[in-house]
Amino acid sequence: MAITNTNKNLKNEIIAYVMLIVGSALFAIGDVMFVNPYLMAPGGTYGLSNVFNTLWPWKISLYAICMDIPLLLIGTWILGPKFGIKTIISTVLIFGFTYLLEIWWGYNPVIHDGTIVTAPVEGLSMVQIPHDGGFFVPDYFLNTVVAGLIYGLAIGLIFRSGATSGGSDIISMILHKYTKISLGTLVMIVDGIITLSTLVAFGDIRLPIYSVIVIYIEGKVIDLVVEGMKSYKTMFIVTDNTEAVRDYVINELKRGGTCLTGTGLYQGNERKMLYVTLDRADMVKLKSNLHRIDPKAFVNIMDSAEILGTGFRALPKE
């Protein structure tokens, strides 16, 4: 048994480091080939580095590592060793992949944003063609969507590996310690300031708007990568026919739940309430059968972002 557990742990660690490497490589691709050529800055030290790179040409990777290393050191000093070896490895890998891409690829866009010129084509009059390279004509929206998808997949894989993004998030964590403002709010403020820097630097209102779209798409993809495709619903069912609903959940759906006792506000009567968490398919079955079981039942259905425990994902070890 010990050998089996050791092999399983080793396999999981190998998978985690593969996800860390792939995620770091994808992050570099998204930044150098999609975000930087369109002058966007979707938060983080690499977003700020994109602005610096355009204003004062120097490699994005060098700007970023000059910010990431002090932030990790300051964060460790103020917050303690919260970041772990994988976050440090991720920081180094993203720096390395970004540096290599800058040397090999440069800052050329995949979705072309060069000059559009007119040129004669045999059998036709003048038509518009890309002036130099690229696979697509200039398209800010398409580039923004692709950048968000790549960023989301990259950071999702990094999170799945057990690492964190570090970078500007450390600033938010430090501010949270002293201001007690929620961490989520502080992350939005810090990344929002970085995003707005594109408007100040380049004077183009499109840039912060497209950067925000990147952040939104990125967040949705991160959730998809980290949580998976499975969608869960939590149902609170107030019913006078508790036993019949309980039997259906246990015997037909093969799921469990919790029976709570409460008091109605209007008449002050004691009522039973069932609390169950189901996947979407089982939720639909239960909802469609509730009218047969108890037509007067009161049901509240909510989305469940993350479910841990028996029957769902295992609780994390750390």
- The residue range of the domain holding 275 is 232-304
Domain holding 252: CATH number? 3.30.70.120
Residue 126 lies in a domain: no
Count of all residues that appear for the chain in the document? 318
Query: Comparing 84 with 215, which gets the higher pLDDT?
Result: 215
Give domain status of residue 316, yes or no.
Answer: no
Whether residue 116 lies inside any domain: the answer is no
Please check whether residue 187 lies inside any domain of the structure: yes
Q: Pull the structure tokens for residue 101.
A: 């891409």
Asked whether residue 269 falls in the same domain as residue 219, the answer is: no
pLDDT tier for residue 189 given thresholds of 50, 70 and 90: confident
Q: Select from 227, 242, 263 the last residue of a domain.
A: 227
Is residue 128, in this structure, part of any structural domain at all? no
Residue 129 has a pLDDT of 45
Per 3-state DSSP, the chain is made up of helix, strand and coil in percentages (nearest 5) of: 60, 15, 25
> Are 193 and 254 within one domain?
no
Is residue 169 included in any domain, yes or no? yes
Both tokens of 306, joined, read 């993350």
Q: How confident is the model at residue 121 (pLDDT cuts 50, 70, 90)?
A: very low
Judged by DSSP in three states, 202 sits in: helix
Would 106 be classed as within a structural domain? yes
pTM: 0.73
What is the pLDDT at residue 117? 45
- Tell me the average pLDDT across 188-215: 87
Q: Are both 96 and 236 inside the same structural domain?
A: no
- Residue 269 to residue 266: CA distance in whole angstroms: 8
Share of the chain above pLDDT 90, in %: 21
Least-confidence region, from 13-27, 37-51, 128-142, 249-263: 128-142
Question: Do 52 and 198 reside in the same domain of the chain?
Answer: yes
Residue 110 pLDDT greater than 80, yes or no:
yes
Confidence band, pLDDT 50/70/90 cuts, at residue 115: very low
Residue 245's nearest CA partner among 281, 279, 295, 301 is 295
Residues 180 and 266 in one domain: no
User: Which segment of 46-55, 70-79, 80-89, 124-133 scores lowest on mean pLDDT?
Assistant: 124-133
User: Which residue, 202, 227, 252, sits at the end of a domain?
Assistant: 227
| 242 plus 143 within the same structural domain | no
pLDDT for 230 equals: 66
In this structure, the answer to whether residues 68 and 153 fall within a common structural domain is yes
Q: How many domains does the chain have?
A: 2
pLDDT interval class at 23 (50, 70, 90): very high
Please report the pLDDT score of residue 233 as a whole number.
Answer: 83
Residue with tokens 């999702």, as numbered in its chain: 156
Side chain identity, residue 284: V
254 and 219 together in one domain: no
- Average the pLDDT over 54-72 and give the result: 91
Do residue 244 and residue 213 come from a single domain? no
Are 97 and 217 within one domain?
yes
Residue 310's pLDDT band, with cuts at 50, 70 and 90, is low
pLDDT at 62 over 50: yes
Tokens of 166: 């570090």
Q: Give me the half-sphere count of Cα atoms (radius 13 Å) on the Cβ side of residue 265.
A: 0
What is the predicted pLDDT for the residue at 145?
A: 93
Q: Using CB atoms within 10 A of its CB, is residue 22 exposed (0-12), middle (13-18) or buried (19+)?
A: middle
Domain boundary residue among 169, 194, 227?
Answer: 227
For residue 289, what are its two tokens?
A: 């059968």
Mean pLDDT on 8-23? 87
Which range is least confidently modeled, 21-30, 155-164, 298-307? 298-307
Same domain, 179 and 199: yes
Q: Are residues 259 and 148 in the same domain?
A: no
User: Would the pLDDT of 116 be above 50?
Assistant: no
Least confident of 70-74, 77-81, 184-188, 275-279: 184-188
Q: Is 314 exposed, middle or buried (0-12, 13-18, 19+ CB in 10 A)?
A: exposed
Helix (H) or strand (E) holding 261: strand 258-263
32 domain residue, yes or no = yes
Highest mean pLDDT: which of 52-61, 155-164, 282-291?
A: 52-61
Question: How far apart, in whole angstroms, are the C-alpha atoms of residue 180 and residue 242?
Answer: 43
